[in-house]
């Protein structure tokens, strides 16, 4: 019976950059993020003779997967199977699967879909097995994309570094649930250019930076401060630590060999302008950037109108907005096999 699941991206406040084990995506340090409530990615997984994957855009047109993307999806399936086997629950898990991915993530909005895709797949794979814990779903998600381990949870979640070199040696945990603190992410996309180095390749370069060891020493303190700021809903504290960590990650990226320059002139200008605006108008807003020039402006509700107006005023940029989401979940009935589905449409 096909299993259907949905998930969404997340935005990191303490960044995940660098692994201790590239193959298993075991992180070198902790990280922390806020799960977004949109855009969604939906997957349908069915039992099949051999592994196959197809991907569709918002308007249902097929987006052919590259050889590399296909290989990553198949490898993820095999690792998930191996993990379930290791913990002794793979009995009902299919020998192979066909996977359909439907992404509502608009092209070029600078939101990586991998966190949403792999957390949705983990959720669907977990559906073949009885009573898998959220921790196990988070491990399954991590095997496809480290940051996907965090999208399994709603609200705020921490991807904990963990210990050991096993498949299950790192996972995410929820820090605060979705209703805890009403924050927003106003996303400004200055360039739709495809990035040249994806995060999978980028993580492997982190250790070539002479700044990486210092980053590893600082992250535990930042992670702690970030968790406190979230629990206490202290926006000033959150802003300070999130911006410090974002700039530190980009310093590591830029000092890698070869250097990874994800930010562009527009990113720097937007950051300068928002700093000026928040000082002038006393706004609870912070900026953060992942592996691309897109600026995420995370703000409290009181600052939202001013931040939206600021984003709209950015010429030549795409703008997108999200609240805090509930994390990945299975959806029932699966529209592909339900006879009743037409009644709900
Ligand atoms: O999960 P990955 O391998 O796509 O890595 C995500 C890396 C960043 O987005 C730059 C940071 C983060 O913590 O999400």
Task: For residue range 263-295, list pLDDT tens digits in order.
Answer: 999 999 999 999 999 999 999 999 999 999 999
Radius of gyration for the alpha carbons in the chain, expressed in angstroms and rounded: 20
Which range among 10-24, 72-86, 104-118, 195-209 shows the weakest confidence by mean pLDDT? 104-118
Say how far apart CA 104 and CA 57 lie, in whole Å. 7
- Give the total residue count for the chain: 345
Per-residue pLDDT tens over the stretch 232-266: 999 999 999 999 999 999 999 999 999 999 999 99
Q: How many angstroms separate the alpha carbon of residue 11 from the centre of ligand 1?
A: 9
Q: Which of 7, 8, 9, 17 to mutate for ligand 1's pocket (most ligand atoms within 8 Å of CB)? A: 17
Q: Is the pLDDT of residue 14 over 50?
A: yes
List residues bridging with 34 in a β-sheet.
11, 156
Structure confidence at residue 333 (pLDDT):
64
Encode pLDDT of 193-218 as tens digits: 777 789 999 999 999 999 999 999 99
pLDDT exceeds cutoff 90 at 11: yes
For residue 145, how far is its CA from the centre of ligand 1 (angstroms)? 8
Q: Is the CB of 112 under 6 A from ligand 1?
A: yes
**pLDDT at res. 1:** 84
Cα of 82 vs centre of ligand 1, distance in Å, is 24
CB 143 near ligand 1, within 6 Å: no
Distances (CA, A) of 149 to 2, 50, 186, 222, 260: 23, 26, 23, 20, 24
**In the predicted model, what is the mean pLDDT of residues 94-105?**
95
Report how far residue 48's alpha carbon sits from residue 74's, in angstroms, rounded to the nearest whole number: 13
Q: How far is the CA of 101 from the centre of ligand 1 (A)?
A: 20
Q: How far is the CA of 231 from the centre of ligand 1 (A)?
A: 23
Across the strands, what pairs with 321? 186
pLDDT tens, 171-184? 999 999 999 999 99
Mean pLDDT within 59-77: 94
- Residue 14 CB less than 6 A away from ligand 1: no
Q: How far is the CA of 219 from the centre of ligand 1 (A)?
A: 15
Is the beta carbon of 94 within 6 A of some atom in ligand 1?
no
Across the chain, mean pLDDT equals 94
Cα 174 from Cα 186, distance rounded (Å): 23
Is 339 a residue whose pLDDT tops 50? no
pLDDT of residue 337: 45
pTM for the structure as a whole: 0.95
Does the pLDDT of residue 340 top 90, yes or no?
no
User: Which tens digits make up the pLDDT trace of 118-147?
Assistant: 999 999 999 999 889 999 999 999 999 999
- Does the beta carbon of 16 lie inside 6 Å of ligand 1? yes
């Amino acid at each position: 019976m096909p299993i259907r699941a949905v998930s969404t991206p997340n935005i990191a406040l303490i960044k995940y950059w660098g692994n201790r084990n590239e193959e298993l995506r075991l992180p070198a340090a902790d990280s922390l993020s806020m799960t977004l409530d949109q855009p969604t990615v939906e997957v349908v997984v069915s039992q099949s003779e051999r592994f196959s994957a197809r991907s569709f855009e918002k308007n249902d047109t097929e987006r052919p997967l590259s050889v590399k993307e296909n290989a990553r999806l198949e490898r993820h399936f095999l690792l998930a199977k191996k993990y379930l086997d290791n913990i002794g629950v793979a009995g009902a898990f299919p020998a192979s699967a066909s996977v359909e991915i439907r992404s509502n993530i608009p092209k070029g909005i600078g939101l990586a879909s991998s966190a949403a895709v792999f957390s949705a797949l983990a959720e669907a794979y977990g559906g073949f097995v009885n009573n898998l814990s959220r921790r196990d779903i988070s491990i399954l998600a991590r095997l496809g994309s480290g940051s996907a381990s965090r999208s399994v949870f709603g609200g705020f979640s921490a991807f904990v570094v963990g210990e050991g070199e096993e498949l299950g040696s790192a996972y995410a945990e929820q820090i605060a649930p979705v209703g805890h603190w009403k924050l927003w992410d106003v996303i400004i996309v200055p360039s739709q250019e495809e990035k040249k180095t994806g995060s999978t390749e980028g993580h492997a370069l982190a250790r070539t930076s002479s700044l990486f060891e210092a980053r590893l020493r600082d992250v535990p303190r930042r992670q702690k401060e970030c968790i406190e700021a979230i629990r206490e809903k202290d926006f000033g504290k959150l802003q300070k630590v999130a911006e410090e960590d974002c700039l530190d990650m980009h310093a590591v990226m830029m000092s890698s060999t070869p250097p990874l320059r994800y930010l562009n002139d527009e990113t720097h200008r937007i950051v300068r302008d928002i700093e000026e605006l928040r000082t002038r108008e006393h706004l609870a807003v912070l900026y953060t950037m992942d592996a691309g020039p897109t600026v995420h402006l995370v703000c409290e509700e009181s600052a939202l109108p001013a931040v939206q107006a600021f984003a709209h005023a950015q010429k030549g940029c795409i703008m997108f907005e999200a609240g805090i989401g509930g994390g990945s979940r299975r959806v029932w009935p699966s529209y592909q096999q339900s006879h009743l589905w037409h009644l709900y449409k």
